[in-house]
Amino acid sequence: MPKRGAPPEVNAGSMADIAFLLLIFFLVTTTIETDAGLDRMLPPIEPPETDVVIKQKNIFEVIINKNGQLFADEELLEVSQLREKAMAFLDNGGAPSGTADYCNYCQGARNASSSDNPSKAIISLKNDRETPYGTYITVQNEIVGAYNDLRNRESQRLFKRDFTSMEAAYLNPETPESLKDDLKEKVKTIQDLFPQKFSEAETSNN
């Protein structure tokens, strides 16, 4: 019993109920999600002022039809083979030694009828209006994967670290500024070795 004259104690028994109410409110209105996905840049709508002539051998054309079948570089392909084919194309380095386009870090077949240099090589992706989105993402994933595999290889050779982990660290807002400057340079170096030249043409209607 409190002494007479002292203020009466506030009953805190319902505090738990109030807190539970708040907790349940937050549980139902929130979602635990970290979004992730494939980053892409769309081409600007204005056509470039000067027409660039691109040699046919520097273009790797991937077409997905409405049944999700893949037609790449003039042959029918399984999606599982695409990464390998794309890597062989990008890493080809067909320009002969001594020319301006010579690629000194390429480890490919150096086939004269395939791409000259990774910086010239373009992957063009075409799809039908009926193509399922899932297939399209798989193909995109494989092409990004081909670039990442090649970049990781060069990154391991030059900096003894995977490109993907460097890029993730660079993009992470929690990385300290001092580290970021160093990473930025390395990421840029690798990106210049294998630039993502990846064109998404307008959809065909047939």
Partner 1 sequence: MSKFSKKKDGDIPAVSTASLPDIVFMLLFFFMTVTVMKDSSLKVDNILPNANEIKKLEKKDRIIYIYAGAPTQEYQKVFGTETKIQLNDKFANATDVGDYILSERAKKPQELQNVLTTALKVDKNANMGIISDIKLELRKVNALKVNYTTYEGDAFRNLQ
Chain centroid to CA 124: 16
Judged by CB under 8 A, which of 67, 80, 111, 199 binds partner 1?
A: 80
Site for partner 1 in 59-78 (CB under 8 A): 68
What residues contact residue 187 under an 8 Å CB cut-off, 6+ apart? 163, 166, 167, 170
Q: Are 205 and 129 in contact (CB under 8 A)?
A: yes
Judged by CB under 8 A, which of 1, 10, 32, 52 binds partner 1?
A: 32
Q: Which helix (H) or strand (E) holds 88?
A: helix 79-90
Contact between 27 and partner 1 by CB under 8 A: the answer reads yes
Judged by CB under 8 A, which of 26, 75, 97, 185 binds partner 1?
A: 26
Helix 163-171 × helix 133-159 angle, to 10°:
100
Q: Are 90 and 194 in contact (CB under 8 A)?
A: yes
Site for partner 1 in 115-144 (CB under 8 A): 127-138, 140-142, 144
Judged by CB under 8 A, which of 4, 5, 11, 39 binds partner 1?
A: 39
If the CB atoms of residues 12 and 53 are measured against partner 1, the closer one turns out to be 12
Strand, coil or helix: 114: coil
Least distance from partner 1 to the Cβ atom of residue 43, Å: 7
The single residue listed with the structure tokens 């049944």 is 67
HSE-up (13 A, CA, CB side) for residue 201: 16
Contact between 36 and partner 1 by CB under 8 A: the answer reads yes
Please, what is the Cα angle at 66 between 63 and 68, to 5 degrees? 70
Judged by CB under 8 A, which of 63, 145, 158, 191 binds partner 1?
A: 145
Least distance from partner 1 to the Cβ atom of residue 57, Å: 26
If the CB atoms of residues 117 and 127 are measured against partner 1, the closer one turns out to be 127
If the CB atoms of residues 57 and 126 are measured against partner 1, the closer one turns out to be 126
Contact between 176 and partner 1 by CB under 8 A: the answer reads no
152 to 26, 103, 167, 191, 196: CA distances (angstroms): 42, 17, 11, 10, 14
Question: Residues in contact with partner 1, total (CB under 8 A)?
Answer: 57
Q: Which residues bind partner 1 (CB under 8 A)?
A: 12-13, 15-16, 18-20, 22-23, 26-27, 29-45, 68, 79-80, 127-138, 140-142, 144-145, 148, 167-168, 171-173, 200, 202-203
